[in-house]
Structure 1
């Protein structure tokens, strides 16, 4: 005897509630995407699904997930899916739901990570000069943190020298829902980059105000969801983007990347010392390309030694607060090879010495900020 249609229908709706939208990472039932789901007398379930935008790049992923979830319900003999598209009003309603009804006075976009109740740790990865492996460090830390179960996002804020999408192995483009941008995800990391908005390998020729606006859009218009950690790959030096970051995200913590070379260390000190002017915290220093391990087990210090420790000590004295040396990353051609292949070395070869060193740094950064907003502090008035 077959199960009553009403019982099967309830089970189908419960199954649909287990399917997440691949971009928004929330159940399609919560997002108002399921227009109808009808169980026929023949056991075939006909689902009408509303996509956020026409030509949704993850349409087939949704089809496969829905078919698998609903097809597993006892009594269902088949699944047929008809795709439609949300109306502008429905998209506006979805946007309001995702943003929790939060708006901005005077039309100024709201940056969730700058709000008092934000629990997201924001790390700005900075370097004094180019060529020290700042982007490689950023993507490997992001991938390592995501592999540890954290929700992680990366903003490729190096507008002129953007390279993060390649290193994370994604060529995907963001999807727009009204004035909200859905970031692509790779290796469990949500990522946004100016390279996703330009044709081919076109150069970006912008001055300060446009750089500021781009960074503002990446932080406010992109739907990041509830992140544990947000990493920003900054351009080298202490220019426009570093200043804009301090204005837009005053609570961001600076992570300084250097090499052991004395010349690089001197420039890195300047990049870290900008925290004095912006009143931001320097969370630590990472020394990259520290040494090359030779086949006989010895180490060749290609770029000298001690640069990272020197930067950490100098910044500790300059800022007046402890700035630790978080880690030393060995020079390894596999870091470059993995980045070119689009799979960070912490995932491609986790046993490699460089991967282990990067993983150890990630462990020190994998702390979620706890907000005190709305929490009682247990304070009592003193007796007279």
Structure 2
């Protein structure tokens, strides 16, 4: 017969099991983050685990309790578990923040500007409102996350924020000292000014405050190690577009338009800002391109050719190839998914709009990263 597990062996097994439990918000093992305050095992195999929360009102406390309980339940000799939740001291929170950021006492910086950053940053822009820019953004994000990428969305449309609704995110960010932990929706980490204002209150800010908000979202939010960060910009060529260029100079611009001439002309101006700010234009997406009728014919509700005209005009203006990356048809499922907080790429993945958006997401995810500003590890003899 195998030997009966001792209290010490059970305790060692519990610690190994707890190392597999990630904090639901920080996505790091709770043992690495210093959140396990102690483990006791009595003679009967009953395990007491003390876990320190970052803040007393941690929104994920129930999730953490369940995952700790499940992990301990796999340990041979553990006859039961009691999880005791406490709160970190200010000193412990500072230590956790420094460990997560990899800095000691330094002011927050924007990680996407670091020379070794491999995160693709896409700023989704439009010339005018109402062209579906936010819907395109959240569906690209959801499609990339469904394909296994680590994705974040920064809702930079401070005055017209809509990303939380479109992604079905109702949770609030958690603040740990000067670090903000964003909530997650459909596997996408999300931050928006809408998470900080009560109800449906408007945000009446001017340039300096808008710049500061964007700076905080880029530097103080703990995004983790992202593959892709998408920014949903406000329409037009105002303060936020300029601030993005200053704060995130590596961001590449994706222009969204509709087929009609009026929208295309304004979209061209939004894309031309990239030339002035020395950002790279990824390409153009034409939204609401047509409506598929029951008999199979296409009704071009907003005309045709706007996306191609924007791409051609920007290519000529910038002296580089700016492709038309996709044409997204009008689709009732796309609108319904936005209303429900379930992006169409997840709600109806085989619908006409979802097929185009998933293909576009994979195209953007596969694009090679540039080498500008990165350390290549090459030395000259």
- TM-score for both structures, normalised by structure 2: 0.96
Correspondence list, 1:190-229, <5 A = 190-229=189-228
Partner of 2:335: 336
* CA–CA separation in structure 2 for the residues paired with 1:361 and 1:132: 17
Shift of 1:75: 1.0
In structure 2, runs of 5+ residues without a counterpart are none
* CA–CA separation in structure 2 for the residues paired with 1:187 and 1:132: 23
Shift of 1:207: 0.5
Contact 2:171 2:183 in 1 (8 A): yes
Residue 294 of structure 2 corresponds to residue 295 of structure 1: yes
- CA-based RMSD: 1.4
Deviations 1:267-318 (A, max 9, x none): 0000000011100000010000001001111111111111111111111111
* CA–CA separation in structure 2 for the residues paired with 1:310 and 1:44: 70
Correspondence list, 1:126-137, <5 A = 126-137=125-136
Contact 1:312 1:323 in 2 (8 A): yes
Contact 1:119 1:228 in 2 (8 A): yes
Aligned residue pair count: 377
* CA–CA separation in structure 2 for the residues paired with 1:4 and 1:198: 53
Contact 1:246 1:252 in 2 (8 A): yes
Residue 9 of structure 2 corresponds to residue 12 of structure 1: no
Deviations 1:228-270 (A, max 9, x none): 0000000000000001111101110000000011110000000
Where 1:366 maps in the other structure, the secondary structure is helix
Residue 151 of structure 2 corresponds to residue 149 of structure 1: no
* CA–CA separation in structure 2 for the residues paired with 1:75 and 1:40: 11
* CA–CA separation in structure 2 for the residues paired with 1:332 and 1:301: 13
* CA–CA separation in structure 2 for the residues paired with 1:181 and 1:201: 22
Where 1:125 maps in the other structure, the secondary structure is strand
Contact 1:119 1:370 in 2 (8 A): no
Partner of 1:39: 41
Shift of 1:93: 0.5
Change (3 A) 1:87 1:195: same
Partner of 2:82: 80
* CA–CA separation in structure 2 for the residues paired with 1:370 and 1:228: 14
* CA–CA separation in structure 2 for the residues paired with 1:203 and 1:234: 17
* CA–CA separation in structure 1 for the residues paired with 2:294 and 2:42: 68
* CA–CA separation in structure 2 for the residues paired with 1:263 and 1:210: 31
Contact 1:156 1:164 in 2 (8 A): yes
User: 1-10 or 310-319, which moves further after superposition?
Assistant: 1-10
* CA–CA separation in structure 1 for the residues paired with 2:375 and 2:123: 28
- TM-score for both structures, normalised by structure 1: 0.96
Where 2:209 maps in the other structure, the secondary structure is helix
Correspondence list, 1:178-257, <5 A = 178-257=177-256
In structure 1, runs of 5+ residues without a counterpart are none
Deviations 1:98-140 (A, max 9, x none): 1111665xx5x41111222211100000000000000000000
Shift of 1:179: 0.7
Change (3 A) 1:84 1:317: same
Partner of 2:56: 54
